[in-house]
Structure 1
Amino acid sequence: MLARLHSFWFALKASYWFYPALFAALAFALALSLMGLDRAGSTEWLNRISWYFPAHPQGASNMLTVLAGSMIGVASTIFSITIAAVAYASGNYGPRLLTNFMEDKGNQLSLATFIGTFVYAITVLRAVRAEGETATASQAFVPQFALLASFGLMIVAVGVIIFFLHHIPASIRINTVLEGIGRGLLSKIAERFPDSNSVSTEMRSTPSGSSVTADATGYIRYIEFEELARVVRDSNLRIALAVRTGDFVYAGRILAQSDSDVLSDDIVDSIRGCFSLGGSRTPEQDLEFSIDELVEIALRALSPGINDPFTAINAIHWLGAATAELGQRELRQEICDDDGTSGRVIPVLDDFGHFVNRGFGAVRMALASSKIAALVALDSIRDAANQINDPGRIALLAREGGLLMNQAEVTLGGPDLQEVRMRHAAFQKSFAP
């Protein structure tokens, strides 16, 4: 249940309606509160300020009408520009990047500001009354304090427009897109694997009892490890996970293997409840998702139809940084329960070779088809290896450079191949003991 709530909250924050709806509700409440102060006479002090000129009903109505009309028009334009930018980015950089733009707080909050200002202006406008306008209220009423606040919101909205006009073209620049993916990946690596690398030879026995299978179809978006550890501890079990976040499962596929011969339906349901499924992957717990995004951008850039090796080079630089960061981390997760006991939940082991193959291995063929990209890839792999102390991981990177060279022997020729050979020879020397 907690996993599903967590996944729902993540999807909520990544939507284009959550913040506009929230701001609209807050604007409505703010308008009612400020008008209540005006009706109670708590804002009479405004009339004693020499530089403040109280508004009359006609002027207040005109101002609020213009504000409301302009805000809804700007909101419509902003939404159209945002959709066009998202369509352009996802079409050129890859459909998986749609998630990044949907999560962009600049777009969400800009739209929310205009919607909130519109709701505020309409709410205050309804309360403005001229003298004798209605039978129940013979005196004129202009909520001066609420009107002053609307002027402040207008200034804020103008500032947001200026911000948005800069933010949209900046956000779809490929360097900005890659930086967002890369920095997000590095922060998630540090969060998921907080300990520095230490060579561990301890092998854990894998439970081989009853299994817990999925009862639905979709991608695993989130695993509630703390809740899973609590369920396993309360049931006096040990389990080994058979899937990781981002895997696609369907009814009957094994999620976890336990050390018990028989599991009750309640325990099975509790364990299943720690897995949240959805129709798409999300980067929240899924490191491979961010790596796949970098790989996808590099593959698209190096495709014959686009042929943009410099975009691929930017993606390779961030892949190299992520590889270096992973190489310096202890990649074995310790899932602890409330009392600090670990070892009851054994996650899927994602060793360093898995991540190297997911990154440089997945884009190897495309890199080998471009002299510029191949040279940069060899340098990035070498630089990553220089940051790593584990001989086994260094050997994996040396092997990856060799595989890239072998592929280049097939796809390149002439002076380009000769240059890559020379760079690879220097690459091999850097790995020599």
Structure 2
Amino acid sequence: MINIGLMGLGTVGSGVYEIINNRRRFFEDEIGEKIKIKKVLVKNKNKNRNIDIDDKLLTLNPKDILDDPEVDIVIDVLSEKEIAYDYLKYALENKKHVVTANKAVVSSKMEELLYLSKENNKAFLFEASVGGGIPIINSLKQGIKADDIFQIQGILNGTTNYILTKMYEKGICFKDALKDAQDKGYAEADPTDDIKGYDTGRKLAILSTIAYNQPVDSKFINCRGIDEISIEDINEFRKLKLVPKLIGSSQRSDNHIYASVEPLLVKDESFFSNVKDAFNIISLRGYNTGELRFYGQGAGKNPTANSVVLDVLDIVKGTYTNGKVYENRKISGDKYLTFDGEYYLRLSSKDGKDNNYLLNILNMYNSKHKVINDKESLIVILPWTSENLINKMINEIKLNVEDIRYFYSGIYG
């Protein structure tokens, strides 16, 4: 008998409970072992839940799980980062296997928790922390055994992808699209981590750390969010047949790791443009395999819960692989990824200055720009430039403009 302590019974936690409870006989036939959830940690026993569960399984005390010698595996689907970290650390020190979906904990504490798992000969698995139902973590662990991964690109956040899809397809502003996402349960009441790109940054840090065999700290990943995109931009994007997507990108080159998260403009026939609503896609490039793409639901109750349960089954079968432990931590995500290529640039002047003033400054930096719109804001396409050059130009003119927005619209086909 394998006993599980489930910490959290929210959206994902209830999904985990239902899968294990409903398929327990199949698991027993498949792996020859009974799997049972012995205790479930909740905040409120009296809360109305759309799930059939015995009240006797519920507990308010984490020690009923963490200190129970009969509990073999601790599953963390809690939302609180600090609490979850303390519980996971305690569980590993208490010689219990750990499975978590908490990307905030994994991205910031991966090395420490992997070290504890090694010291105590237990598993620390986190497939559900990136990509929801997409089996990307285990695929990466297997892939790097033979291949040399040098680039990652992906739409890693379902909330922002849903918002951008609605903005583009319905022609609505960011505020209205965000409210729609909140009404449908895709966005939290406080959506800051999603819309500012921080959630994508954490997931990118996890993938990059595994892919490049070198720790990447999300604190050193430059993040720009989707709240910079206006309805005016959306209208111009559609005319240009370009689609905005929040994309996390990293690459390894010359013993450095470069990473960034920002809205990029992709061609409307590209594979990125066809990833809509809450779906995710992750592209890996390796010297042996070339490009591999992983596509699926990036969030939601059942896809994420399924990834959690797959980690549990790997533990029960003894087929799991822990990640590498880095004895000497070296922060490697300290160089931002910048792009050379075509850029979309929108400038809104202030203090009565006309667009000719802005055009004159642009000529100093890039004489080949193409004016797309000069009625209200000045919108231009810069045919070939770098993000570093754009930043220098922005510093030159920012005192004379009310608003500046730029988006890379280069080679993504």
TM-score normalised by the chain length of structure 1: 0.24
Q: Which has the higher strand share?
A: 2
Q: Which has the higher helix share?
A: 1
Bigger Cα Rg = 1
